[in-house]
Structure formats: C-alpha cells, structure tokens
Amino acid sequence: MSPEEMERLFPNLRGTTYMNTASLAPGCGPAVNALTAAANDWARGRLDWAEAERAGEEARVLFAHLVGGRTDCVALVPTASAVAGLVAAYLPKRFPEGGTILVGEEEFTSNLFPWRLLEARGFALRTLPQRNGGVPAESFERAADGVTRLIAVSAVQSATGYRVDLNHLREVADRSGALLYVDAAQAVGALPLDVTLPRIDALAAPSHKFLLGTRGMGYAYFEPSLRDALEPLWAGWKAAAEPLTSFYGPEMTLSATASRLDMSLAWINALAERESMVVLRGLGAAQVHGHNLGLAALMRQSLLERGVPFLDHGAEHGSTIFACAPRGALVAERLREAGVVAAVRAGRVRLSLHLYNTPEQVRGVAALLGDLR
C-alpha cells in the first residue's frame, strides 16, 4: 500500500491527518463515485434497484471471505444492535429458565442495552469491572458458572482500544455452556479476525468504520447451528428463499440461509458498499492488517518516547485505537487546529489508525501530543 495508492483512493484526505476511523471512515473514491452516481440515477428515476441487490450479495460474499466464514452464515443488517436484538430475542427460547449474561464495564450500549432488556425476562446481567481500560478474559472466567448463558464482548473496546483474548473466551464459554457474542465494529477490516478460529457464535460488524462503508450497512455472522435456530424478527420479502419471486403471499417459504435474517437493503448505500469491499479485497487483508499493526507498534513506541500518557495494553491486547492525553476536549481542539481529526471518549483523546495513515503522521501526532502535555 503505497502513499500514491492511498492518495488515489482517498484524494480528499490531502492535508488532513484522519485518525477517527473508530467513529466513521472517510469515503474511498470508488465508493463515493458509486454513491454519487446512484444518487444521480435516483434523481432521474433511473436507479437500478436490482443491481443494488446484486451489489449487496457480492458484498456478502466478500465479507464472508474477509472473516473466514461461510457466505450462507452471513446476514445483511444496518446496525450492530440489530444483530444483538436477534440473539436477545432467541435467548429466552433457548434458556426458558433464564440465567446470567456477562458483559464488560463501559461496554458500548449497542452491546449492552439488548441484554439489559432481558432482565425483565428472567436473566441477570452481570457487569465486570475494567482494569486499565479492558476486561481480561480471566475476569470472565472467574465470573462464569453453570448458569452463564451469554458472554458478550467487543473484540476491541471502542473507548480504550483494548483487544480481548477471544481464544480464551471461547474456552470459558464452552466450559460454561454459554454463547459467545462479539461486536467486531472496531476490529473487522483493521485487524485479523477469523470467525472459526476461535469459533464465534454471533458476530456483528457495521460497515461504516474499518470496512470503509456507509452508515446503514453492516453484517452479521452466525455459527451454523445458531443460524438455523434463529427466527427473523422482521420477516419481509428478503427473508424468502427466492425473494424476487416472492413479493406476494399467501405462501411463505423462508430461506434456509442467514439471508432470512436480512433487513431490507439501503439500495444506494449497497452500491457504495460493494466498491468499498472490493477495495479492501484488492488491497489484501494481510497487507492491510500488517500495515495497521506496524502503525500501532510505531504509535505505542512514539507515545512512550514522548512521555504522552495513554492506556498501554501492550502488544498482546493492543489494537489500532489509542486512548491518551487527559484533558481530551482541549487537546482534541488543538489537534484539530493542526489538521488532525480525532475523537474524545471517556475524557481522553481517541486516535484510531487505518490503512490511509502513514508513519510520518503517527510520529507527527505523537510529537504534537508530547508538546501539549
């Protein structure tokens, strides 16, 4: 991934150091062009919705390849909370006697509220405390018991960048008979993640972050046995085995694949989504992940050298997200004045790195933060 290639894909980032992918990725050129063309077609009454549906199917295949899963286990959804909602609706059917759900402290609410609502259905939600910005797998191991029904985690914690040990959590879930639910919003596209190693029961991945897509597009992956057990909460025309020939009733034949759990596509977004996923596939997952891991190691080293306070998770639990510099709002404003786009979460500046960032940008931002201490 050369600087020239990134310049071609992201021409509008010229002069900007963009380190806020954990909130929203900037649009890559091919996706922006597809979005613009689709909007123009819509305005002229020429939007080809059938092509948009094909784009969605192509994106489904590309996502399955990216996470090492089967295409027939991937559903197209607009948000991560939609995936959690499907699993939350299923838990009382699988465990009518109730049980315990384990989540980490300060979990993003899309991975919290769906489980909290189950407290009215006989489930107890247990929140485990953070240590240095993360909840280690050992804490889940100590808390899990014979009535633990679900372990819900973020692969990477959005406020702190802590990367959880999914292999260890899989072992904990297996010993306790629990399902493992993973919100991968801050991981898929940025870091290596395989839904089969370790086995993940349910995974949510909205597209508008490290997958370079638009808000309103995303993916769910379900382990085959869980996929077969789930019932669609919003069984519209896309839930049919043959959607294009099932516009009207009265018969209902649902798809045997995860597509029966789809929500209707945002057609214009889907046309852009296909281009974003093609870009990621073309760059190569291994190359993107290697680039990002190299940047993360450099950022950690640079922050340490500059004496910038940050939540240091080490190589084992670090990610492409860094939480640093107390007085976050003030420091973020100073960064903005210097052309750096970042976010503030939990009172700290949050920096999130992706494929369009460079070593020079990393060193420059670390130097700025050092000067602002």
Calculate the average pLDDT of the chain.
Answer: 97
DSSP for 30-41 reads HHHHHHHHHHHH
Final residue before a domain boundary, out of 222, 250, 281: 281
Is 243 a domain residue? Answer: yes
3-state secondary structure 74-113: EEEECCHHHHHHHHHHHHHHHCCCCEEEEEECCCCHHHCH
Average pLDDT over residues 256-262: 98
Q: Is the pLDDT of residue 357 over 80?
A: yes
**In the chain, how many domains are there?**
2
Helix ranges restricted to H, the chain: 3-9, 29-43, 49-67, 80-94, 113-116, 137-143, 166-176, 224-229, 267-283, 285-306, 314-317, 328-337, 359-371
Is 360 a domain residue? Answer: yes
Same domain flag for 309 and 270: no
Same domain flag for 212 and 339: no
Q: What is the model's pTM?
A: 0.96
Is 190 a domain residue? Answer: yes
Model confidence at 97, in pLDDT bands (50, 70, 90)? very high
Q: SS3 of 172, please?
A: helix
pLDDT of amino acid 161: 98
Specify the CATH number for the domain of residue 90. Answer: 3.40.640.10
Is 71 a domain residue? Answer: yes
Is 106 a domain residue? Answer: yes
Model confidence at 276, in pLDDT bands (50, 70, 90)? very high
Average pLDDT over residues 68-78: 98
pLDDT of amino acid 326: 79
Q: Is the pLDDT of residue 136 over 90?
A: yes
Final residue before a domain boundary, out of 281, 301, 331: 281
188-227 pLDDT per residue, tens: 999 999 999 999 999 999 999 999 999 999 999 999 999 9
Same domain flag for 235 and 359: no
The percentage of residues in the chain with a pLDDT greater than 90, rounded to a whole number, is 96
pLDDT of amino acid 328: 84
pLDDT of amino acid 325: 75
pLDDT of amino acid 17: 98
Phi, psi of 305 (to 5 degrees): -65, -35
pLDDT of amino acid 222: 99
Specify the CATH number for the domain of residue 359. Answer: 3.90.1150.10
Q: Is the pLDDT of residue 253 over 90?
A: yes
Same domain flag for 195 and 212: yes
* Domain boundaries, position 139: 49-281
Same domain flag for 211 and 63: yes
DSSP category for residue 254:
B
151-191 pLDDT per residue, tens: 999 999 999 999 999 999 999 999 999 999 999 999 999 99
Pairing of strands 202-206, 348-352: unpaired
Same domain flag for 289 and 152: no
Same domain flag for 272 and 312: no
Q: Is the pLDDT of residue 306 over 80?
A: yes
Model confidence at 50, in pLDDT bands (50, 70, 90)? very high
Final residue before a domain boundary, out of 230, 252, 281: 281
Same domain flag for 270 and 297: no
Which one has a higher pLDDT value, 51 or 326? 51
Same domain flag for 277 and 184: yes
